Amino acid sequence: MAKGMLIDLTRCIGCRGCQAACKQWNNLPAEMTYNWGSYENPPRRSARTWTTVTFHEMAESDRFAWVFAKRQCMHCEEPACTAACIVGALRKTSEGPVVYDDRRCMGCRYCMMACPFGVPTFEWDKPVPYIRKCTLCADRLAEGMDPACAKACPTGAIRFGDRETLLEEARARVQAHPDKYVDHIYGEKEAGGTSILYLSSVPFDKLGFPALEPRPMPRYAEVAMASVPPTIVVVSVAMGGIYWVIKRRERMREETEVPQEPERARIREED
């Protein structure tokens, strides 16, 4: 059965344990931790930060509250990024994660243009740049472990499991506490549905979540690709060139690659 995550924003305390766990498991370096005038830390997702927790100040007539929102790849049911990738470097697996094979990537960045959630990021500062994004910890799932962020969350704001079961649970929570939740499970229908589902106490547009129709995402990929017709024509004609680019990037990567630290072995033991 396809897996997913239910992120209940009413349970999130903004501790960013999920963000730290993601960096630790994926061996991602730290980024700037203080941004003048902003509580966001780091301020946006990047090739080094695959998940962020945004802080939202909600002032109502008689009360004041913070709402925290963990954001990452939505692992769409019908992803626009996979539809836009003409060399098949991005792929939706039957288990749920949308995974990326950098050996196939030619660096065109169509996936970045196509994604309606603005998720894929590019390693702009690297000599051989690749696309980076949350993998739903597909490597951990293959070893029978839960995603690192879900495991780290101290309040149970992130639940990992079968998408259908999580949907039922989300509906039950809304039904049991209509005073606490808005009547909307974000990700149930947006852009054809996503593996990541959200519950919130405030409307999602107030938290910066895009309002998307229930039509599947590949339509967005068509729109994105149609906006760059000359490039598409050139790329389609030059498939031989694409192969050459991929092979060259692979060779350059082998020359510049830094070996991974043995950190994962320790985390596995703790898990």
Q: How far is the CB of 248 from ligand SF4 (least distance, A)?
A: 25
Residue 254 or residue 270: which is nearer to ligand SF4 going by CB? Answer: 270
Q: Which residue has the tokens 């939505």?
A: 74
**End-to-end alpha carbon distance in the chain:** 23
Q: CA 97, CA 82: separation in Å to the nearest integer?
A: 12
What mask, x for binding ligand SF4 by CB under 6 A, covers residues 208 to 247? ---------x------------------------------
Residue 79 or residue 204: which is nearer to ligand SF4 going by CB? Answer: 79
Closest CA to 10 of 190, 143, 159, 127: 159
Compute φ and ψ for 143, nearest 5 degrees.
-100, 10
Q: How far is the CB of 251 from ligand SF4 (least distance, A)?
A: 27
Which amino acid makes up residue 53? V
Residue 129 or residue 244: which is nearer to ligand SF4 going by CB? Answer: 129
Classify burial at 202, counting beta carbons within 10 Å of its beta carbon; exposed 0-12, middle 13-18, buried 19 or more: middle
Q: How far is the CB of 242 from ligand SF4 (least distance, A)?
A: 20
Do 236 and 229 touch, CB atoms closer than 8 A?
Answer: no
Query: Can residue 131 be called a binding residue for ligand SF4 (CB under 6 A)?
Result: no
Of positions 27, 35, 38, 155, contacts ligand SF4 by CB under 6 A: 155
For 120, the token pair is 């894929």
What mask, x for binding ligand SF4 by CB under 6 A, covers residues 89 to 128? ---------x----------------x-x-xx--------
Do 203 and 211 touch, CB atoms closer than 8 A?
Answer: no
Residue 76 or residue 106: which is nearer to ligand SF4 going by CB? Answer: 76
Residue 175 CB neighbour total at 10 angstroms: 10
Query: Which residues of this chain interact with ligand SF4, rule CB under 6 A?
Result: 12-18, 21-22, 25-26, 50-51, 53, 68, 70, 72-76, 79-81, 98, 115, 117, 119-120, 133-137, 147-149, 152-153, 155, 157-158, 217
